[in-house]
Structure 1
Amino acid sequence: MIMDALSQAGFPLDGPAFWLALFLFIAAVFFIIQSRRAAKRSARLREELHETQIALASAKEQTIHYDALRDELAHEKRLREQLQSDVAASKATIAERERALSELKTRMETEFKATTAQLLEGANEAFLKRAQETFQRYRESAQSDNEKRQKALDDLLKPVSETLVRYQKGLDELKKEQTESRGALASQIGELAKQTHDVRAEASKLATALRAGPKTRGRWGEEQLRNVVEIAGMSAYVDFVEQASHDDAEQRRKQPDMVVSLPGGRKVAVDSKVSLGAYLDAIEADTEEARAGHLARHADDLWKHVQSLAKKEYAASLRDSLDYVVMFVPGENYFSAALEARPQLYQDAFDRKILIASPTILIAMLKSAALNWRQEKMTEHAQAVAAMAKDLYDSLQVMSKNLGGLGKALSGALNKYNATVGGFESRVLSRARKFADYEIPGVETDIELLAPVEERPRQLRDEAEDCEDDVGEDKGEDGREDAA
C-alpha cells in the first residue's frame, strides 16, 4: 500500500529519494503513534491526579469530622459524669421522700381505721337490715326467674332427650342383633354338621328310588336344594324363587331351579343336576376295573350337564346376574367320585363359567350371602344411627342458638334494669328527698333504695370437659345454698 502511494506521487521506486521518502513516512507514522500514546498516558495521569485530589479532600473532611466527634465524645463524657452525680443525689432525695411517705401512710392508715370503726359502729345495724331485705327480694325474684328459665330449658331439652332415647334404642337393637347373629351362626354350624352327616347316611337309602327315572331324580335334587337353602338360613335374609323362568333375547324358555338375590341388587342362577345311574353302578361293581369304568362314565355324565348348562347362558340372559352359574350336585360323594375319575372337571367347568357346588360348597356360598345381608342391614342401622346423631346435633345447634338468644335477652333486661335504677337514684330520688326538708305531711318516710343486680347469665362453653366442670360447680353452689 505504501509502495503504491509513493508510485502514484511520482517517486521512483529504486532511487535514493524513494528510500528517503519511505524513511520520512515511517518516521511520521511512528511519531503520530507515539504522540497518541503520550496523549492517552497524559489523560490517564490527569484522571488519576483528579481522583487523588478528590480522595485527599475526602480524607481532610473525615479528619475534620473525626475531630468534631472527638470533641462531642468528650462533651458527652462530661455530661455523663454530671448525670451520674445528679442520679446519686436524686436517689438520696427519693429515699428520704419514701421514708417520709411511709411514715405518712402509716399515720393515715391508723387515722382511717379509727374513723371507719366509728362510722361502721353506727351504720352497721341499718346496713345489715337493708342488705337482708334487698337480698330477700333479690332471692325471691331470682327464684321466680330460675323457675321460668328451668321451664324454658325443659322445653328446649325435650326434643334433645327424645332424640337421645331413639339413639340409645337404636344402639341397643344393633348390639342385640349382633349377639343373636353370632349365637345363631354357631348353632347353625353345629346343625349343619349334623344334617350333613344325616344326608350322607340317607344317600344310600335313596339309591333305589333314584333309579326310578329322571323326574324322580329332578324332584329329589330340588328338594335337596331347598334343604340346603333352609340350612343356610337364606329364607330370613335372601329372597329366592324356585322354578323361576324367563325368556332370553331369542324368546327361548329358560328355567333355572333357583335364582338367589344378593346384596347390591345382583343375582345368581342355581340349577340342580342329578345323574346317579353310573355312580350307583360303580358302587355295586365287583371289580376295581368295572368300578373305574363306571366312575369315568359318571364323570362324563356330569361333564355333559356342564356343557348343556353352559349353552343355556343363564348369566347372560338374567338381568343383574353374576358372570357364572352354580350347578348343584346334591351329594358330596357324587362330586368327589367324579373328581376322582376326572380331576380337571372342576377347572374345565369353571372355564365355562359354571361353578360346580356340592351341598357343603353351596351352603358356604349361601352362608356368605347371608352374612353379606346381615352386614348390609348393620350398615343400614349404622346409617340410621348416623342420621339420628345428625338430628341430635342439629337439635343441639338449635338449642345452643336459643340459649344464646335467651342469655342475650337476660343480659339486655339486666342492663336496662340497672340503667333504670341508676337513673332513678340520680335524677328522681335525689329530688324527691328534698321534700323532707319542707316538712310536708306524708313524706316523712324515706324512699326505699333499689339495689342493682350484678349477676349475669352464664356463657356456654365449647368444650365438653368445661361443661362437666360447670355441672360440678353448680352442684357445689346448690349444696352451699341449701346449707345456708
Structure 2
Amino acid sequence: RLRPLSDALLQYREQVEKMNVDRATSFESLSKTTSRLMELQDRSISETERLNRILGREKDRGSWGENQLENIFRLSGMEPYIDYMTQLTVSQDAKNVRPDAVVRLPGRGNFAIDSKAPLADYDTYLAAETPEQQAEAAKVFAATVKRHIQQLTSKSYYDYIKPSPDFVACFIPSDNVLSTALSGDQDLWNFAVRSKVLLCGPSSLMGMLWSVAYGWRQSQLQENAQEIMDLSETLHQRISVAYGHFHELSRSLGTTVKSYNKLVDSMESRLLVTIRTMETKGVKSKADIKEVDALVELPHDPNPDKWPVAPALPLTTLEAEIVELPRETE
C-alpha cells in the first residue's frame, strides 16, 4: 500500500534535483551573459570617451587623423622612408613647411598630404535631431572644411617640395565626414580644385596610393628593361671586339701558313735538289731526309654574312597598340 507513495516521493525528488541542476546551469549562463554585457558596456564607454576626446580636443583629433593616414600607408603596401616620408620639414627663403606626409612619385616627383580632422563642428551635426538641424550643421561643417582648404592653399607645399604637381592632398580620415562636408556645400569640391587642393577620404586616398604603387612597379620594370638593353649593347660590343681578334688571328695564321709553304717550296726546289745531287756523288749520311708536305688548309676567316639571323621578337602590348592598321580601299 505504501509503494505508490514511495514512487511518487522518488519522482518528486528527481524532479527537484533536475530543477536544481537546470537552475545552476541557467545561473552560470546568465552570469556569463552578464559578464559579456558588462565587458561590452565597458568597451562602449571607453570608445565613447575616446571619441569624445577626439571630438573635444584638437590635439587628439590631429593624432587620430595622422594615425589613420599611417594605417592607409601600411595597408597600401608602401614602405616608410622609401615610398613616403612623414613630418618632413622643408625650408625655403627662411620659411619652414611641414606636411604630414610626402609621397614619392615615379619619375622623381613628390606630392604632399596634409591630414585634417575638423570634428568639432561634425559633433554638432551628429547631435542634430531634425533634418533641418542636420542641413544647417552640414553647412557650418562645410564652411570649416573650406577654411582648412584656404589654409592649405596659403602654405603652397608644391612650391617647396620639388618636383611636385601643383596640388596638395587634404586627407579627411573618414569617408562619412567628407561626405557630410560635400553635402553641406555643393561647390566645395570645385572650390578645392580651384584652390589646388584634392579632397580625399580613406577610400580615395587608398586608390591613389595603389595607383602610385602600380606606377612604381611599372617604373621598376622599365628600369630593368633598360638595364637589360644596356647589358645587351655591351655584350654585342664585346663580341664584336672578340670577333675582331679572331679576324686578326685568322690573318696571322694565314700569313704563317703561306710563309711555311714558301719555305717548303724553297727547300724542295733548291735545297733538296742540291742534296740529291750530292747523294749521286756518293756523299750521304746515315740519316734519311724525310719529305715535308705543304699545308693545304687555310684558317677560315669569320664571315658575318653567314651568321644565323635571329627570329623577330614579338611586339609588346604597347607596340602592338600603336601599329597603324592598313586602310581599306574604297
For normalisation by structure 2, the TM-score amounts to 0.71
For residues 57-99 of structure 1, give each alpha carbon's deviation from its aligned partner in whole angstroms, at most 9, with x where no partner exists: xxxxxxxxxxxxxxxxxxxxxxxxxxxxxxxxxxxxxxxxxxx
Structure 2 counterpart SS, 1:264: coil
For residues 254-306 of structure 1, give each alpha carbon's deviation from its aligned partner in whole angstroms, at most 9, with x where no partner exists: 33212223233332221111012333333343322222222222212111211
Matches within 5 A, 1:299-338: 299-338=142-181
- Gaps of at least 5 residues in structure 1 are 1-202, 469-484
User: 2:275 matched to which residue of 1?
Assistant: 432
Matches within 5 A, 1:163-242: 207-235=51-79, 238-242=82-86
Matches within 5 A, 1:345-424: 345-424=188-267
1:463–1:438 Cα change, 3 Å: closer
Task: Compare 268-277 and 213-222 and name the one that shifted more.
Answer: 268-277
The AA in structure 1 aligned to 2:296 is: E
Select which of 293, 304, 307 maps to 1:451: 293
Structure number with higher helix proportion: 1
Residue 342 (structure 1) aligned with residue 193 (structure 2): no
For residues 81-126 of structure 1, give each alpha carbon's deviation from its aligned partner in whole angstroms, at most 9, with x where no partner exists: xxxxxxxxxxxxxxxxxxxxxxxxxxxxxxxxxxxxxxxxxxxxxx
Aligned sequence identity (%): 30
Shift of 1:465: 4.6
Matches within 5 A, 1:240-251: 240-249=84-93, 251=94
Shift of 1:253: 4.3
Task: Compare 210-219 and 225-234 and name the one that shifted more.
Answer: 225-234
Shift of 1:419: 0.8
Select which of 140, 150, 169 maps to 1:297: 140
- Gaps of at least 5 residues in structure 2 are 1-46, 311-330
User: 2:303 matched to which residue of 1?
Assistant: 461
Structure 1 counterpart SS, 2:107: helix
Query: 1: CA distance between counterparts of 2:309 and 2:259?
Result: 29
- Which is higher, the Rg of structure 1 or of structure 2? 1
CA contact (8 A) 1:433 1:446 kept: no
Structure 1 counterpart SS, 2:198: strand
CA contact (8 A) 2:192 2:198 kept: yes
1:467–1:327 Cα change, 3 Å: closer
Query: 1: CA distance between counterparts of 2:49 and 2:214?
Result: 34
User: 2:113 matched to which residue of 1?
Assistant: 270
Query: 2: CA distance between counterparts of 1:373 and 1:237?
Result: 15
The AA in structure 2 aligned to 1:448 is: K
1:401–1:204 Cα change, 3 Å: farther
User: 1:157 matched to which residue of 2?
Assistant: none
Query: 2: CA distance between counterparts of 1:448 and 1:374?
Result: 75
**How large is the Cα RMSD of the aligned pairs?**
2.7
Task: Compare 380-389 and 395-404 and name the one that shifted more.
Answer: 380-389
The AA in structure 2 aligned to 1:245 is: T
For residues 161-186 of structure 1, give each alpha carbon's deviation from its aligned partner in whole angstroms, at most 9, with x where no partner exists: xxxxxxxxxxxxxxxxxxxxxxxxxx
